Structures are given as C-alpha cells and as structure tokens.
C-alpha cells in the first residue's frame, strides 16, 4: 500500500462545491448532504470495526481517520441544520 497524504480540507471543499453545483434546489441540496452524512457515518462504523478487530497492525493510523470522519460528520450535521433553517 502506497503511503499517500490526503488534504481532507481540500477534498471536503471540492466535494461541497460539486454538491452545490448539482443541487437543483435547497431541498435537493439537503438531500445530497444527508446522503453524504449517511456515508460518513457508515465509514466511521467500518473504521471503528477495523480498529476493534485489529485488522491493521498500525491501528494508530486509523485514529486520525476516525477523528477526521467524526469532524466531517459534525460539519455535515451543522450544514443540514443550517440549510433547514434557511429553507
């Protein structure tokens, strides 16, 4: 496995820009954000499971990914709340 560094902030901005471009309405935008939130929560569960069953020898690498995922979940939850308030 190649050791790659990801700029998650940049990736999040690009992802958000794509959602905004393809959203046809604020309702559609909220729907797309909720789908992304669902995927983030599933990713979080899988990462925690991988750590729990010690599937990887270096589980400390997972800690950063789990933390990033949890932060993204918080951002997306706030985004949904904000978008709902502005409807």
pLDDT, tens only, 47-57: 999 999 988 88
Q: Bigger pLDDT: 7 or 47?
A: 47
Within a domain: residue 1?
no
The Cα 32–Cα 20 span in angstroms is 9
**pLDDT, position 4:** 54
Question: Which of 36, 4, 3 has its CA nearest to residue 19?
Answer: 36
User: Domain range spanning residue 47?
Assistant: 26-85
Within a domain: residue 67?
yes
Block residue for tokens 């709340």 = 81
pLDDT band for 17, please (50, 70, 90 cuts).
confident
Within a domain: residue 55?
yes
* CA 83 to centroid of chain Cα atoms: 17
Q: How many domains does the chain have?
A: 1
- Is the per-residue pLDDT at 62 higher than 80? yes
Within a domain: residue 68?
yes
**pLDDT, position 40:** 92
């Amino acid at each position: 496995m190649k050791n790659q560094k990801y700029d998650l902030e940049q990736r999040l901005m690009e992802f958000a820009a794509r959602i905004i471009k393809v959203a046809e309405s604020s309702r559609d935008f909220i729907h797309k954000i909720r789908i992304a939130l669902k995927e983030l929560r599933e990713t979080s569960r899988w990462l925690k499971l991988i750590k729990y069953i010690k599937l990887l020898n270096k589980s400390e690498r997972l800690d950063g990914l789990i933390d990033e995922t949890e932060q993204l979940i918080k951002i997306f939850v706030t985004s949904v709340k904000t978008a709902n308030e502005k409807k």
